[in-house]
Structure 1
Amino acid sequence: MSKIVLITGASRGFGKLWAKALLERGDKVAATARNLEDLNDLVQEFGSNVLPLKLNVNDRTACFAAVKTVKDHFGRIDVLVNNAGFGLFGAIEETSEQQARAQMETNFFGLLWMTQAIVPVMREQKSGHIIQVSSFLGLVTLPVLGLYNASKYAVNGLSETLQQEVAGFGIKISLIEPNGFSTDWSGASAVQTEANEAYTPVKAAFFEGTTPDSWGKPETTVPAFLELIDAENPPLHFLLGKIAYPVVKQVYAARLAEMEQWNQTAVTAHGH
């Protein structure tokens, strides 16, 4: 049986790639983008199997309306892929209020609004899979991406809580947590802060630490994404790429060691 999948941010990157893969195997896809023209190629190739929707996920009312449109059109929604988002590059001190709020509005609040809109539909169906496209930077951090890190930590905290709340309704939650991939995330879609030369050495060290091998190939994620979509018992945390797991493992081991070192002091603070 084909799946009905709603994907936000389907105009480029992972969203476009995964939407096309689903359509090629016979699923039906509701694809959202801020500019409908960016979805014309999918419509021309796959016709009525794709429902293009203009959507800015920052608009909560529009998110609820989009979910209703998809439900009315296809009759159900099996999977939501919350993919809309962008990267903000720059030191925390450099970040303007507008940039900070815009980062959280799209990466966190946009995802929250879509999640709130889809849960009643899936709760009524007694089934569904919500896939949040987060990042391994929702588990560990890198300099020069402070607000992006923060937005993805928020997504992870929200989604881990959501899993506990909706499991009884037959709704599954997965966080896709990629390392760096060669998508528009760090290119055309990215926003840069106004540079403060005090952070030049930090930025230089950050970029010197990356190599061509650090960036995965977006097209090779398709089989893994489809396996996740089809899994009977999908994972909550799905680290995507070969860099993410060893980095997370190393950072978590260091965190636990530090906590252990200070644990006796922490225990005495409990008072009894």
Structure 2
Amino acid sequence: MDWLQVLILAVFQGLTEFLPISSSAHLILVPELTGWGDQGLAFDVALHLGSLSAVVAYFRQELARMARAWLASLSGAGVDRDARLAWWVALATVPVCIFGLLFRDAIALGMRSPLLIAAALIGFGLLLAYADWGQRGERSEYQLSLRDALFIGFAQALALIPGTSRSGITITAALLLGLSREAAARFSFLLSIPVIVLAGGLEAAGLIQQPQRIDWVALSLGTLLSGVSAYLCIHYFLAFIRRLGMQPFVIYRLVLGGWLLWAFWP
């Protein structure tokens, strides 16, 4: 990999992991449109590690409170709002784990078509627009119920389809349940932590089974760039949606999806 490829892929991963525009779609489309070869499992793991480091660093105080409260709940100290939120994050992760394991091969082999990505970008983009326009409320992530958490969790499983966007579909589901924009985004970001850990773990396992030559300099730079861009993305995204909402991302999804239909229609 050359340095331009490392830079572009790392920044794209860091930004699109948390924006509602689909990181998987961009990481599939960028190499296809540029003619670059596959970046390899090792680099994918490095990019995930960067994104994970960013979200953990940004929410470090909330995560520390949630971890303490969750451990206390296991010892019989009761369930406060931080422990309940930790439980909801864990339970909402279960559906994507189940569906990911069941359909991993089918997704990897059969769902990387630019036309399918275009359909997902447009369809789920319109759903995000509807949720942001008409269903927004003022509930916080601490007011979620078990049913709400499972609803968002099953919605998150749809993100296995490239072009859907994990953050986009979970924010959409949370908005439909009456969460505020900021609360929907915060819960989506917290949900990303176990998902990134599990996805990165699967990729790391594949890397162990199929060892390849590792460019440690490229991996280190990719991790750093992905982490920095992801951290900045989280910070500015939360401020941005407070003022302007989700519509700029909806427009981007519709334009990108429309261009893909035009470019790849047989």
Query: Fold match, TM over 0.5?
Result: no
User: Per residue, is there more strand in 1 or in 2?
Assistant: 1
Per the normalisation by structure 2, the TM-score is: 0.31
Return the structure number with greater relative CO, CA threshold 8 A, min gap 6.
2
User: Per residue, is there more helix in 1 or in 2?
Assistant: 2
The structure with the largest alpha-carbon Rg is: 1
